[in-house]
């Protein structure tokens, strides 16, 4: 079965990337609020989302949306929320502080808990209570994901046993990078169940990983692909939003530029 090619949008530079991402956030939030009266978005970790969050915080079109928005996390490092390595800490500085999102609607992963399994269970219960889908994976309205140079996304690293977990929504992860080896992560079924999945990737250092994630051989076995390439939402729901530097190794994927950005396969 031909894999539904993801949409690719290319922005000229990191600033344009953040602006394009912020406008897409507005569009998806508005649609979710119109259809369901609530908007559940999961944030990516790392450093790339900071510029996106700041651009989102400037979107006055979202002023009426924050009181009906819930923020979740795709993953978290096993550090205190006050630690600069924490994804929550980054989101708090760049998004939660400048916007009127109710604290009760910010769902932090308590990855500082020495018992990561218990913390994963708590997060799974909260996510299922809010976005339950029967026995299936909880459904987010919008999921932001980053991409590591090794092709990881969220805290699903190449070769990790977490990649094979399909009966849980949240798992503890060992084997992350040396400065934050222990993590919590949403699992692939949850990443692929989201109504919209947007990868946001910037920088020449990610160009090889973007090409590997987007231009693998058709028919390649799923478990031979980098983790980011295994995120498979329903057709038409996956968008890779990258800047020119991160797109520089792509050879055959059609693209649209963010200026007149219209997602297309």
Instruction: Give me the residues that bind ligand 6PG (CB under 6 A), please.
Output: 44-48, 74-75, 77, 87, 146-148, 152-155
Q: Please report how close the Cβ of residue 2 comes to ligand 6PG at its closest, in angstroms.
A: 28
Burial of 235 (0-12, 13-18, 19+ CB in 10 A): exposed
Q: Which is nearer to ligand 6PG, 99 or 209 (CB)?
A: 209
Q: Which is nearer to ligand 6PG, 69 or 86 (CB)?
A: 86
Residue listed under structure tokens 């980053």: 146
Q: Please report how close the Cβ of residue 183 comes to ligand 6PG at its closest, in angstroms.
A: 7
Alpha-carbon distance of 242 to 14, in angstroms, equals 8
Q: Please report how close the Cβ of residue 263 comes to ligand 6PG at its closest, in angstroms.
A: 20
Q: Which is nearer to ligand 6PG, 32 or 154 (CB)?
A: 154
Q: Please report how close the Cβ of residue 113 comes to ligand 6PG at its closest, in angstroms.
A: 17
Burial of 52 (0-12, 13-18, 19+ CB in 10 A): buried
Reference 188, options 233, 242, 247, 234; nearest CA is 233
Name the phi and psi angles at 196, rounded to 5.
Answer: -135, 135
Q: Please report how close the Cβ of residue 91 comes to ligand 6PG at its closest, in angstroms.
A: 11
Q: Which is nearer to ligand 6PG, 53 or 65 (CB)?
A: 53
Residue listed under structure tokens 């979202």: 62
Q: Which is nearer to ligand 6PG, 44 or 71 (CB)?
A: 44
Structure tokens, 109: 């992963």
């Amino acid at each position: 079965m031909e894999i539904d090619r993801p949409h690719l949008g290319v922005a000229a530079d990191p600033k344009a990337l953040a602006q394009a991402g912020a406008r897409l956030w507005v569009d998806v939030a508005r649609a979710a609020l119109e259809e369901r009266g609530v908007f559940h978005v999961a944030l990516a970790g790392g450093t790339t989302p900071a510029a996106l969050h700041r651009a989102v915080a400037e979107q006055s079109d979202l002023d009426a949306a924050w009181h009906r928005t819930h923020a979740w996390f795709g993953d978290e490092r096993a550090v205190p929320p006050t630690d600069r390595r924490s994804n929550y800490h980054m989101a708090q500085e760049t998004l939660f502080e400048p916007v009127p999102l109710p604290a009760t609607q910010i769902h932090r992963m308590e990855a500082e808990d020495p018992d990561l399994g218990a913390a994963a269970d708590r997060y799974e219960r909260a996510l299922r209570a809010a976005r339950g889908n029967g026995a299936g994976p909880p459904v987010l309205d919008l999921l932001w994901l980053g991409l590591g140079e090794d092709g990881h996304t969220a805290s699903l690293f190449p070769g990790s046993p977490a990649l094979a977990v399909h009966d849980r929504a949240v798992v503890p992860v060992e084997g992350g990078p040396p400065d934050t080896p222990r993590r919590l992560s949403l699992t692939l079924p949850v990443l692929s169940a989201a109504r919209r999945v947007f990868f946001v990737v910037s920088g020449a250092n990610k160009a090889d990983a973007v090409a590997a994630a987007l231009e693998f051989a058709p028919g390649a076995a799923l478990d031979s692909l980098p983790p980011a390439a295994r995120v498979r939402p329903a057709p038409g729901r996956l968008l890779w939003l990258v800047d020119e530097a991160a797109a520089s190794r792509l050879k055959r994927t059609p693209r649209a530029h963010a200026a007149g950005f219209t997602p297309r396969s």
